[in-house]
Amino acid sequence: MQQALTILQDTFGYEAFRAPQAEVIDTLVRGGDALLLMSTGGGKSLCYQIPAMIRPGCGIVVSPLIALMQDQVAALKQLGIKASFLNSTLTQDEITAIEACLRRGELDLLYVAPERLTQPRTLALLKSVTISLFAIDEAHCVSQWGHDFRVDYLALNLLHEEFPSVPRVALTATADARTRQEIVKNLALSNAEEFVVGFDRPNIQYRINLKTNPRNQLLQFLKTEHAKDAGIVYCLSRKKTQDTAAWLQQQGFKALAYHAGLPAETRAEHQRRFLAEEGVIVVATIAFGMGIDKPDVRFVAHLDLPKTIEAYYQETGRAGRDGNAATAWMVYGFQDVTKLRQMLDSAQGDEQHKRVEQIKLNAMLGFCELTTCRRHALLAYFDEAAAEQCGNCDTCLTPVETWDGTEAAQKALSVIYRTDQRFGVSHLVDVLLGKASDKISQFGHDQLSLYGIGQEHSAQAWQSVFRQLVAAGHVVADPERFGGLALTEKCRPLLKGQDTIAFRLDPVQKTSKKLSKAPLPDDIDVGIWEALRAHRRALAEVQGVPPYVIFHDSTLQAMAEQMPSSLAEFGALPGVGERKLEKYGDGFLQVIRQL
The residue out of 442, 474, 506 marking a domain boundary is: 506
Is the pLDDT at 547 greater than 70? The verdict is no
- From residue 282, alpha-carbon distances to 116, 181, 254 in Å are 30, 35, 9
Q: What is the pLDDT of residue 510?
A: 34
DSSP, residue by residue, 448-465: STTTTTTTTS-HHHHHHH
Question: Cβ distance 310 to 146 under 8 Å?
Answer: yes
Is the pLDDT at 220 greater than 90? The verdict is yes
Give me the helix-helix angle, 578-593 and 526-543, nearest 10°.
Answer: 130
DSSP class of residue 155? G
Cβ-based neighbours of 236, under 8 Å, separated by 6 or more: 285, 303, 304, 305, 336, 339, 340
The phi-psi region of residue 546 (left if phi > 0; otherwise alpha if psi is between -120 and 50; otherwise beta) is beta
Is the four-CA dihedral 474, 393, 515, 303 of positive or negative sign?
A: negative
Give me the domain span that covers residue 25. Answer: 2-196
Chain mean pLDDT for the chain = 86
- CATH number of 410's domain: 1.10.10.10
DSSP class of residue 196? E
Name the nearest CA neighbour of 421 among 474, 360, 486.
486
Q: What is the pLDDT of residue 511?
A: 30
Residue 343 lies in a domain: no
CA dist 327 and 348 (Å) reads 34
Question: Cβ distance 450 to 411 under 8 Å?
Answer: yes
Question: Cβ distance 463 to 593 under 8 Å?
Answer: no
Question: Cβ distance 34 to 134 under 8 Å?
Answer: no
pLDDT in tens, 326-345: 999 999 875 677 677 667 77
Among 63-72, 135-144, 409-418, 517-526, the minimum mean pLDDT is found in 517-526
Q: What is the pLDDT of residue 27?
A: 96
Burial class of residue 155, CB neighbours in 10 A (0-12, 13-18, 19+): middle
User: Could you tell me if 477 and 423 lie in one domain?
Assistant: yes
Cβ-based neighbours of 239, under 8 Å, separated by 6 or more: none
CA dist 38 and 48 (Å) reads 13
pLDDT in tens, 396-405: 998 888 889 9
Cβ-based neighbours of 241, under 8 Å, separated by 6 or more: 235, 257, 258, 259, 283, 284, 285
Question: Cβ distance 122 to 58 under 8 Å?
Answer: no
Question: Cβ distance 112 to 135 under 8 Å?
Answer: no
User: Could you tell me if 494 and 527 lie in one domain?
Assistant: no
Q: Place 515 in a pLDDT band, splitting at 50, 70 and 90.
A: very low
Q: What is the pLDDT of residue 566?
A: 92
- CATH number of 520's domain: 1.10.150.80
Q: What is the pLDDT of residue 546?
A: 55
CA dist 492 and 499 (Å) reads 9
The residue out of 134, 168, 196 marking a domain boundary is: 196
Q: What is the pLDDT of residue 291?
A: 54
Strands 34-37 and 193-196: parallel
Q: Which long-range contacts (CB under 8 A, 24 or more apart) does 156-160 make?
A: 156/62, 156/114, 156/117, 156/118, 156/186, 156/187, 157/186, 157/187, 157/188, 158/118, 158/123, 159/134, 159/187, 160/187, 160/188, 160/189
Among 89-98, 315-324, 364-373, 500-509, the minimum mean pLDDT is found in 500-509
CB atoms within 10 A of CB 306: 26
Q: How long a stretch of residues is the chain?
A: 595
User: Could you tell me if 31 and 145 lie in one domain?
Assistant: yes
User: Could you tell me if 391 and 430 lie in one domain?
Assistant: no
Residue 337 lies in a domain: no
Q: How many domains does the chain have?
A: 4
User: Could you tell me if 45 and 152 lie in one domain?
Assistant: yes
Q: What is the pLDDT of residue 218?
A: 96
Burial call 427-459: b when 16+ CB within 10 Å, e when fewer? bbbbbbbebeeeebeebebbebebbeebeebbb
From the CA atom positions of the chain, what is the Rg in Å?
26
Name the nearest CA neighbour of 187 among 214, 159, 211.
159
Cβ-based neighbours of 125, under 8 Å, separated by 6 or more: 99, 102, 103
Question: Cβ distance 378 to 206 under 8 Å?
Answer: yes
User: Could you tell me if 271 and 415 lie in one domain?
Assistant: no
The beta strands (E) that lie in 198-279 are given as: 204-210, 231-234, 254-258
Residue 527 lies in a domain: yes
Average pLDDT (172-198) is 88
Identity of the highest mean pLDDT range in 142-156, 474-488, 563-577: 563-577
Q: Place 469 in a pLDDT band, splitting at 50, 70 and 90.
A: confident
Among 6-10, 283-287, 502-506, 542-546, the minimum mean pLDDT is found in 542-546
The percentage of residues in the chain with a pLDDT greater than 90, rounded to a whole number, is 47
Please state the pTM of the whole predicted model.
0.62
- CATH number of 254's domain: 3.40.50.300
User: Could you tell me if 141 and 284 lie in one domain?
Assistant: no
Q: Which long-range contacts (CB under 8 A, 24 or more apart) does 263-268 make?
A: 264/89, 267/67, 268/67
User: Could you tell me if 387 and 535 lie in one domain?
Assistant: no
Q: What is the pLDDT of residue 54?
A: 96
Residue 355 lies in a domain: no
Cα angle: 127, vertex 130, 133; to 5 degrees: 95
* In 277-405, alpha helices (H): 309-316, 334-346, 351-368, 374-381, 394-397
Residue 503's φ and ψ, nearest 5 degrees, are -110, 150
User: Could you tell me if 67 and 209 lie in one domain?
Assistant: no
Residue 257 lies in a domain: yes
CA dist 487 and 418 (Å) reads 11
Residue 350 lies in a domain: no
The residue out of 170, 196, 222 marking a domain boundary is: 196
Is the pLDDT at 500 greater than 60? The verdict is yes
Which residue type is seen at 560?
A
User: Could you tell me if 119 and 151 lie in one domain?
Assistant: yes
Cβ-based neighbours of 46, under 8 Å, separated by 6 or more: 8, 12, 17, 21, 25
Question: Cβ distance 203 to 45 under 8 Å?
Answer: no
pLDDT in tens, 401-431: 888 999 999 999 999 999 999 898 889 999 9
Residue 139 lies in a domain: yes
User: Residue 169: beta bridge partners?
Assistant: 34, 135
User: Could you tell me if 523 and 552 lie in one domain?
Assistant: yes
Q: What is the pLDDT of residue 186?
A: 92
User: Residue 196: beta bridge partners?
Assistant: 37
Average pLDDT (164-190) is 90
Residue 284 lies in a domain: yes
Is the pLDDT at 508 greater than 60? The verdict is no
Q: What is the pLDDT of residue 513?
A: 28
Residue 412's φ and ψ, nearest 5 degrees, are -65, -45
User: Could you tell me if 50 and 170 lie in one domain?
Assistant: yes
